[in-house]
A and B are shown apart, each in its own frame.
Chain A
Amino acid sequence: MTAPVLAARGITKTYRLGRQDIPVLRGVDLDVGEGEMVALLGASGAGKSTLLHVLGLLDPPTAGDVLFDGRPVHGLPIAERAQLRHAHTGFVFQFYHLIPELTALQNVMLAGMMTTSWLSWWKDRRAAKARAIAMLEHVGLADRMRHRPAELSGGERQRVAIARALLVGPKVILADEPTGNLDSKTAASVIELMFSLQAERRIAFLLVTHDESLASRCHRVVRMRDGVVVHG
């Protein structure tokens, strides 16, 4: 059996508020296999987003390990973690989190610049641009790529965010309520896009959601309550 592309082993995360310790994650274990679509359900404050940040190496766990392809990664140097975050995972956020000064195309291209040197990128810039254009075309934004985020609808912005997350071919996408800010029609189209990408590219998705119907379409549903996985 191959190692899960993303795994959590005994993850705890405690925040300190003044003199008080607030435990948010209390020993979370989780595996996400290659191409697996996992829904992460739970009430607000259950620790879903915190777990996502820890798994995406944005926030260090207080204890426990995060494993990428079976390899513990949180003890790595900061530059190496950034490199892994870039190559191994992609983030999709509820509020899209696009850079407002950049066009849709530039936002997607930006993802390809994070670990490449300026000189290499400059030499390869035409190919890099072509990849970003292809990705935007793939998510159905061929005619919107010169627009800035403020000129795009919510659904279009989320598609740009998905294209950005997919550009460097990550093994897993961490999506934090990707449809939480969209109307139902737009949300449905975004969900369809994610499912088609998962099927087409064998990319694993860890989807934080409150939507039971969406969760029911996933391969597996993981429920959290008060910082622990109650059903996986």
Chain B
Amino acid sequence: MRAFPPFLALRYLLTRRINLLSVFGVSFAAWAMIVVNSVFTGFVTDIRDDVRRSTPDLLLTDLPHATSYDSLRAALEADPAVAATAPRLRHHGLWQPLQVPSRMQRSLESSQVDFNHMEGGFVLLLGIDPLREPAVTGIRDWIAGGMEPIGKHLGRLGPQGSVFDEADPKRRAEMLVPDELEWRGRGRARIPRASQEEHVSSLPGVLLGWRRAYVWPWLQQGDPGDLLAAAFVDDANGKPQLRTHRVRTAFAGWFATGHRMFDETQAILPIETLRTMLGQDHADPEAIALVTDVAMRLRTGLAPGEIAAAKTRLRTAAQALLAAGSAPCSVLDWEEQNPVFLSAVSHEQTLMRIVLFVVMIVAAFVIYATLHMMVVQKWKDVGILAAIGGTPRGIGTTFLLCGLVVAVVGAILGTTMGGLSVHYLNDFNDWLFRTANVELFPRNLFDLQQVPVRLDPAWLALVACTSVGLALVTAVVPARKAARMNPVKALSYE
């Protein structure tokens, strides 16, 4: 490179304040790309973590009606990739506390309450084996975490659910709440109870997602509630008949996975209770260990390829055990278990990145406009440079360097400001809330303690390189124009 392009480019830039506009444009675009993407990546990562937390490693599903866990368990657990399995039974139903305090300061019985799902009521039932479930999911952590969001959002901390701490496996299998809690609950609901010393818990426990605490904030462990489920059951003639089943349960505590949909809709109860409701009474010797799914935990350290191979093996093994002609079953990893939700989040992130790139393109147009203006204003200089020996290439390089410097300075400023903004985003959000009662990111809306920001170094590098690259590309056009200018016409330009 000749000596004059950098010498002249630097002076053009330093003496023309309009170039600050280009620097600002690139900086702003880079800043916006980093901050918005970091916040979005934080949200997405948190959402994915929450979904992951609520989901087993693998789920055998799409099983035919009346599939028994006993027939599948040995085959699944024989696979070298599988560390543990647990049966799952999904259904839907209604759950309602027996006594609901009304606005009239009196209690209503459940029969007097509207089963409007917006008011509680409707639940997706998830029957689990409390003795096996902790081996495949973090259900103990879900319960331990249940009190935190309630305390944050509703301003009080209730006692944490303790059904998984029960020493007696039989009681644990039924998720029975401690005798004293159930005795008190019966008292609050005004249903018969023995004396406190003689009372033994007998109502199967139901864990509710913490979001129902908005509807039933007064609910305490041991409070009785009625669970109602309906299912088609074949009658003696083999014709399906709709049967309803009602069972009295006790509220056993809140759980929180962080996965909003899961915490909003699910009620977890002992699988045997649900089986009984669906016609498979465990006291009946002919009853089967009914499941709709089997949750599995994989051994740690498996590579993605090994997991994919395990899914194929497990599906084949399970299919072989199902009745001939059964529809194909599926083995889903945690992402496949939530495909719509995760794909929606992913698409949103992609769309957001596209929008951000549009911002960057706008910044590139600002560079183009200012450089083009500079070339037009420096028309005569092009002729002067040619007259004193400048080559078209050197003249073009002068203007290209102007674009490069603008891009590099803009990218450095933008990425630095972006990095700092991301680093201090929560401090700034807190300060803004304290001083002006304004929240840039309403955390309560998303159940977040802090704005989840994650600065991805690869994205930072991509933004910096794209800023420089795009700015250079747009600088090429005015630079070429300058290089191709006829020096005689340029000299006579007024």
Min Cβ gap A157→B in Å is 13
Q: Are A99's CB and B381's CB within 8 A? A: yes
B384 contacts the other chain (CB 8 A): yes
Within 57-108 of A, Cβ neighbours of B (below 8 Å) are at 58-59, 78-79, 82-83, 85-87, 90-91, 93, 97-99, 101-102, 106
Q: Which residues in window 250-291 of B have CB below 8 A to A? A: none
Min Cβ gap B338→A in Å is: 58
Task: Tell me, yes or no, whether B15 is within 8 Å of chain A by CB.
Answer: yes
Q: Which one, B5-13, B39-47, B304-312, B443-451, is touching chain A? A: B5-13
Closest residue of A by beta carbon distance from B386 = A58
Quick check: B388 and A91 within 8 Å, CB to CB? Answer: yes
A195 is an interface residue with CB less than 8 A from chain B: no
The answer to whether B388 and A110 have CB atoms under 8 Å apart is yes
State the Cβ distance, A172 to closest chain B Cβ, in Å. 14
Do A115 and B2 contact each other (CB < 8 Å), given the known contacts A82-B391, A87-B389, A91-B388?
yes
Task: Name the B residues within 8 Å of A122 (CB-CB).
Answer: 3
Say yes or no: B2 contacts A97, CB within 8 Å. Answer: no
Q: Tell me whether B386 and A113 are in contact (CB under 8 A).
A: no
**B410 interface hit (Cβ, 8 Å):** no
A56 at interface, CB cutoff 8 A = yes
Chain A residues with CB under 8 A of B8 = 99, 102, 110
How does the 8 Å CB contact mask read for B78-106 relative to A, with 1 for contact and 0 for none? 00000000000000000000000000000
Output the nearest chain B residue to A88 by Cβ-Cβ distance: B389
Closest B residue by C-beta to A87: B389
Chain B 480-494 per-residue mask, 1 if CB under 8 angstroms from chain A, else 0: 000000111001000
In the complex, which of the residues B11, B15, B16, B389 contacts A85, with contact meaning CB atoms closer than 8 Å? B389
Contacting residues, chain B, for A112 (C-beta < 8 A) = 3
Contact between A78 and B387, CB atoms less than 8 A apart: no
Instruction: Give Cα A167 to B385, complex, Å.
Output: 15
Contacts of A113 in B (CB 8 A): 2-4, 7
Quick one: closest B residue to A125, CB to CB?
Answer: B3
| B interface SS class | helix
Per-residue A-contact encoding for B377-399, CB less than 8 Å = 1, 0 else = 00011011111111111100000
Answer yes or no: A111 CB below 8 A from chain B CBs: yes
Pair A58/B488 contact, Cβ less than 8 Å: yes
Closest to B384 in A: A97
Cβ-based interface call for B1 (8 A): yes
CA distance A116 to B4 in the complex (A): 8
Task: Report the separation of the CA atoms of residues A58 and B12 in the bound assembly, to the nearest whole angstrom.
Answer: 24
Cβ of A165: which chain B residues have Cβ within 8 Å of it? 388
Chain B hits for A214, CB < 8 A = none
Which of B3, B387, B388 meets A118, CB within 8 Å? B3
A83 to B389, CA, bound (A): 6
- List residues of B (150-169) whose CB comes within 8 Å of A's CBs: none
A230 interface hit (Cβ, 8 Å): no
The complex places the Cα of A118 from the Cα of B394 at a distance, in Å, of 11
**Across-interface contacts of A58 in B (CB, < 8 A):** 383, 386-387, 487-488, 491
Asked whether B11 lies within 8 Å of A114 as measured between CB atoms, the reply is no
Chain B residues at the A interface, C-beta cutoff of 8 Å: 1-4, 6-8, 11-12, 15-16, 380-381, 383-394, 486-488, 491
List of 4 A-B pairs having minimum Cβ-Cβ separation, nearest first: A86-B389, A121-B3, A114-B389, A113-B3
20 CB-based A-B contacts, threshold 8 Å: A53-B488, A82-B389, A82-B394, A83-B389, A85-B389, A91-B388, A97-B380, A98-B384, A99-B381, A101-B15, A102-B8, A102-B11, A110-B4, A113-B4, A114-B4, A116-B3, A118-B1, A121-B3, A122-B3, A165-B388
- Besides the contacts A98-B384, A110-B4, what 11 more A-B pairs have beta carbons closer than 8 Å? A59-B486, A78-B391, A79-B393, A82-B390, A82-B391, A87-B389, A99-B384, A106-B11, A113-B2, A114-B394, A164-B388
**Interface on A for B, CB 8 Å cutoff?**
53, 56, 58-59, 78-79, 82-83, 85-87, 90-91, 93, 97-99, 101-102, 106, 110-118, 120-122, 164-165, 168
